Amino acid sequence: MRETEALKCKRKDIGSNVQESTRKRQKVLHQVENWLVAAANTEAEVDLIKSEFDERRTIMNGHCTDYFSRYMLGKRAIKKLDEVKDLIEKGTLDRLSAGPSSPPPPKAAEMPMILMRGQRTSEQTLKKIQHYLHDEETGILCVYGIGGVGKTTLMRSINNRLVGSHDFEAVIWVTVSKDGNSGRIQKEIGKKLGLNFRNNETEEEKCMELFAVLKNMRYMLIFDDIWQEICLEEVRIPKPNKQKRCKIVITTRIIQVGNVMEADVQIRVSTLTRKEGWDLFCYKAGDVVLLPDIRALAEDVADECSGLPLAITTVGRAKCEERT
C-alpha cells in the first residue's frame, strides 16, 4: 500500500532526526518516542496481514475457500489502513526534543603559530601529512621527532587550514604533555564538543556520552606532545571509521608511542638544513648579523641551534631584542 510506504519513510526521517537530537544531548519528547513505537508496531501488523492475504490466495488456488475468514481479514485490513493514515497525520511534529538546541562544536578553532618562513623541509612534511589525512586507509597518524623540531607548528598549520573547511565535522586539539591523565583528556574533548558533564555523573556515564557523540561524527583528534600511550578504549574514543573518514593524529618525541598506539603511518619531522636554519636566524635576528665583523659569530650561533626551528627562533629573537 502507498500509505504504508509513506509511513515507513516518515518513521525513518523522524528516527534520523531523533538520533541527531540525542547526539546533541537533547531530551526527546515522550510523544515522539510513543509515535515511533506505534509506527513500528503498525508496520509489523500490516506486514502480518499482507502475509495472511498471500496465504489465503494460495488456498483459493487450491479451490478451498473460507469466506468468513476472508471477510474478517478484510475488515482488519481496512481498520489498519485507517490507523496508518492517522499515524501519518500525527507524524507532522512541530518539535522532537525539549530545551534549546546546543550549538554545534566549531569545525576548527584557529590557533596562533610561528610562520614557517622559507623552510622547504617543513613544507614537504606538511604536504605529506595532508596527503595521509585524505588517505582512506590511514586512521591513526603519528608525527614524531625531537623536541623543538616543529611538530606542534606543523599541526597548528594543519589545524588552521581546516578552519572553515568541510573535511571534518569537528577538529579537536588536546595538548597532552607528560600528564596523560585519561580523565583530563576526556574532559577536554567533551568540552570542545559542547558536552557539559554533570557533577553527579559517573566516569562510565561520561565515557558513554563521549563515545555516543564521536561514533556518529566525522572527527579529527589531534593529541599534541604525547609521552606515553593513550588508551583509546579507556577514554571511549572509537577507532577511526573509514566510512566516516575520521582521523587521529598524535605528535610525540618517542617513536615507540606511535607503535604502541598502532599508528597506520609514522612521519618523521627532520631538522632544518644549514641554509634553512641560517635563513630563519637572519629573519628573526635582522640584517645586523650580515655585517662582516658579526656574521662569522652569528653563523656559529645559528649552527649551535642544530637545525631546530624553536631554538633558532628563540635565539634569533633574543639577538633582535639585544639590538633594540
| Cell 616543529 belongs to residue | 150
The alpha carbon of 69 is separated from its chain's Cα centroid by a whole number of angstroms, namely 57
> In the chain, what are the domains?
2-98 (no CATH), 120-268 (3.40.50.300), 274-323 (no CATH)
Q: Are 32 and 18 in contact (CB under 8 A)?
A: yes
Q: Are 252 and 142 in contact (CB under 8 A)?
A: yes
The alpha carbon of 96 is separated from its chain's Cα centroid by a whole number of angstroms, namely 25
Q: Are 90 and 26 in contact (CB under 8 A)?
A: no
CA distance 261 to 182: 15
Instruction: Say which residues have a Cβ less than 8 Å from residue 184's Cβ, sequence separation at least 6.
Output: none
Q: Given this model, what pLDDT does residue 67 score? A: 57
CA distances from 50 to 1, 4, 47, 57, 80 (A): 10, 11, 5, 11, 11
Contacts 24+ apart (CB under 8 A), 190-196: 192/105, 192/106, 192/109, 193/105, 194/24, 194/102, 194/103, 194/104, 194/105, 195/25
Decide: helix, strand or coil at residue 315: helix
pLDDT tens series, the chain, 324 aa: 677 788 788 888 887 777 666 655 566 677 777 878 888 888 888 777 777 767 766 655 545 555 556 656 666 777 777 787 787 777 766 555 555 555 555 677 888 876 665 567 788 889 999 999 999 899 999 999 999 888 999 999 999 988 888 888 889 999 998 877 888 888 888 888 877 666 677 778 778 888 888 888 889 999 999 999 988 888 888 888 777 789 999 999 999 999 999 999 999 998 888 988 888 888 888 888 888 888 888 888 888 888 888 888 888 777 666 655
Q: Given this model, what pLDDT does residue 142 score? A: 96
Q: Which of 276, 181, 270, 278 is nearest to 231 (CA)?
A: 181
